[in-house]
Structure 1
């Protein structure tokens, strides 16, 4: 049996016997010749089968011709035949003249979604939706992006950890917890690996990272929220301020974008019509108070009274940065302690501000990072100032009672990064299987 060849490798292969496997994209069942466009995970190729005729000019039915006539879109099969290079063939300059077809699984004729189907309908039939080359490319990009981040981390002596997703108590806000039955009691799905990232600093790991699931019981139906998402997290010891975390963060983003541009830049241009820009360092840094003034000067007043930036404010400051610096990223720094968690370190001499930042990319926040408070007495006082009792946090606070260096880190949503990288309107597009308030299937 001829070994399977990926379609992308056919152009570099010699004419002769070949075997390709994939799914049927189109069939043209013509009077004199039959054509099948077959697609696999790497590309598409034209299969061709000239019909045979008897002396009276009637078509002779063969096993191959009858099989082609019965094919429906989406049918998975293996085709064997002769590879021919022909520059006249628009699809890759090659075709396969069929000798045989082996159908692995015949698809039903009715296609459940079309090119103009809405996103909810497409999510219902996600496995069919992902056969579209543009949609499949997203997850090749994701693979390359994450591999580049991991390569950076490993080359810089980071340790990878996998933190528990079942927790006894909240790591962020109790209002956003999913409670689950746990033997005779209850547990909660992890909103963030935050506490465990900090425990690794107390354990002396120095630099750690994790790529894993996180859960938020947030009944949001926006284009950038999900109840389950993939979080990219890092934490490092012996920092002097949140500036060290931002430097790490921007270097990681450059590494990821460079790898994607190198491997997929041409395909992104072809399928998304985007010239992917690798960001330069350093990224612009703007204190939040100054950013609000800039936004106001552009004619938009951020309406929030809680010292935060709203989505329109993020879009406005991103537009300003693009116009002024030619950059798609900006760090907004020095957030008010009133809206940051108790474990964010506050400014020396001004407890109303924190050593923290949000990273804005193409007008949307993708990450929050900060220097953490590592002094136990200060940490306990900051917890009380947030209405928390240290006794409720005893397991977490124990990390700091036995010594921990200065440290900081960030958490970043993977699907948001990809959504904004590819200028897509919704992170459902960049999530393999989306989970939201009304979606638990497929």
Structure 2
């Protein structure tokens, strides 16, 4: 039996017997010759099968010709035949003359989605939608990006952790918790690994990271929110300020973008028409108060009652940074304590500000980072100020009662990074299986 050859390897293979497996993309059943475009996870190849004719010139049916005529788009097959290099063949400069076809699983002839189907319909049939090369490439890019990030962490002595997703109490806002039955009581799905990655600091781990699921009971229907998402988190000890966290964060992103460009740059250009840019470090840094002044000078007043920035303000400051610095990223720093969690450290000389940042990429926030408050008395007072009960936080506060170094970190949405990297309009495109307020299937 001939060993399966991946389609991407055919160009380098010698002419002769070959076996390929994949799904049928198109069939051209012509009078004198039959053509099939077969696609696998690595590419597409043209299959060719000349028809046989009797002495009177009439086409005669063969096992191969009948099998090809019966093929529906999406049918999975294994084909054996003769590989031939031919520069006239537009699809990769090779073709395979079919000797036999083995149908692994036939497909229904009429597919439920088309090229112009809306995103909700495509999500209903996500396994078919992901056969499209452009959509499949997203997750190869994701794999390369995560591998590069893990390589960075590994080279810099980070420890990978896997934190629980079932929690006894909130890690962030009680308003965004999914509550579930848990034996005789209740539990909550984790909104982030915040408390547990901080626990690794008094444990003496020094530097940790996690890539894992997070859950937010947020009834948002925007293009950039999900109720379940993949969170990329890192936390480091012995920092001097949030500046150390930002430096680590930008180094990580530069490493990831460089790896994606090196491996997929040509494909991204061909399928997304994007010349992927690797960001240069350091990224621009702008205090939030200054950013609001810049936005106002551009003719936009942020219409919020609190001290935060809004999405349009983020787009405006990103446009300013692109025009001024030629950069796609910007750190907005020094957020007001009134809009930050109790565990963000406050400025030594201004209690109203925090050692924190949001990272904006192409006009959208992708991450929040900060130096954490590690002094248990200050941490407790901040929690009380925020209306939290220290008794409910006693397990968390215990982390800080037995010695802990100054530390900080960030949480970042993986799908958002990919969405903005590829200039896609919706987070659903870069999520393998999206979950939102009205979607629990497939």
CA distance in 2, matches of 1:164, 1:392: 18
Shift of 1:389: 1.8
1:117-171 deviations in Å (ceiling 9; x for gaps): 0000000000000000000000000000000000000000000000000000000
Q: 1:273 Cα shift? A: 0.1
User: Secondary structure at the residue paired with 1:230?
Assistant: strand
For residues 353 and 224 of structure 2, the distance between their equivalents in structure 1, rounded to whole angstroms, comes to 27
Could you tell me which residue of structure 2 aligns to residue 317 of structure 1?
317
Question: In the alignment, which residue of structure 2 is the partner of 1:3?
Answer: 3
Partner of 1:388: 388
Matched with 1:273 is: 273
Instruction: For 1:192-203, list aligned pairs within 5 A.
Output: 192-203=192-203
Post-superposition shift, 1:58?
1.2
Residues 288-317 of structure 1 deviation map (CA, whole Å, 9 limit, x = unaligned): 000000000000000112110100000000
Instruction: Report the secondary structure of 2:369's partner residue.
Output: strand
Please give the alpha-carbon distance, in whole angstroms, between the structure 1 residues aligned to 2:179 and 2:418.
Answer: 29
Partner of 2:440: 440
Q: Find the aligned partners of 1:63 and 1:21 in 2 and give their Cα distance.
A: 18
| Equivalent residue number for residue 298 of structure 1 | 298
Corresponding position of 1:158? 158
TM-aligned CA deviation for residue 333 of structure 1: 0.0
Distance in 2 between the 1:83 and 1:16 partners?
A: 5
CA distance in structure 2 between the aligned counterparts of 1:87 and 1:18, rounded to whole angstroms: 19
Distance 1:170 1:428 in 2: 26
* Runs (5+) with no aligned partner, structure 1: none
**Distance in structure 1 (CA, Å) of the matches to 2:364 and 2:388:** 31
Q: CA–CA distance in 2 between the matches of 1:104 and 1:256? A: 38
Cα distance in 1, alignment partners of residues 114 and 166 from structure 2: 40
Q: Secondary structure at 2:12's aligned position in 1?
A: coil
- Deviation string 1:380-414 (CA, Å, 9 cap, x unpaired) is 11011101121110000000011110000000000
The separation in 2 between residues aligned to 1:222 and 1:149, in whole angstroms, is 28
* Whole-Å separation in 2 of the counterparts to 1:215 and 1:293: 34
Matched, 1:357 2:363: no
Once residues 60 and 3 of structure 1 are traced to their aligned partners in structure 2, the CA distance between those partners, rounded to angstroms, is: 31
What are the Cα deviations for residues 179-218 of structure 1, in whole angstroms up to 9, with x where unaligned?
1110011100000000001000010000000000000000
Deviation at 1:45, TM superposition (A): 0.1
Cα distance in 2 for residues equivalent to 1:107 and 1:360: 44
Distance 1:417 1:36 in 2: 37
Q: Distance in 2 between matches of 1:224 and 1:389?
A: 32
**Count of matched residue pairs:** 442
Q: CA deviation at 1:347?
A: 0.2
Distance 2:108 2:54 in 1: 33
Give the CA deviation at 1:283. Answer: 0.0
Q: Which residue in 2 is equivalent to 1:75? A: 75
Aligned mates of 2:125, 2:412 — CA distance in 1 = 28
State the distance in 2 between where 1:39 and 1:389 align. 58
- In the other structure, the counterpart of 1:90 is 90
TM (norm. structure 2) is 1.00
Q: CA shift at 1:350, angstroms?
A: 0.5
TM-score by length of structure 1 reads 1.00
The 2-side partners of 1:404 and 1:391 are apart by 20
Distance 1:19 1:113 in 2: 30
Secondary structure of the structure 2 residue equivalent to 1:264: helix
> CA–CA distance in 2 between the matches of 1:315 and 1:378?
35
In structure 2, the partner of 1:211 is 211
Aligned counterpart, 1:110 = 110
RMSD between aligned alpha carbons?
0.4
Matches within 5 A, 1:98-247: 98-247=98-247
**1:46-57 aligned within 5 A:** 46-57=46-57
**Residue 255 of structure 1: SS of its match in structure 2?**
helix
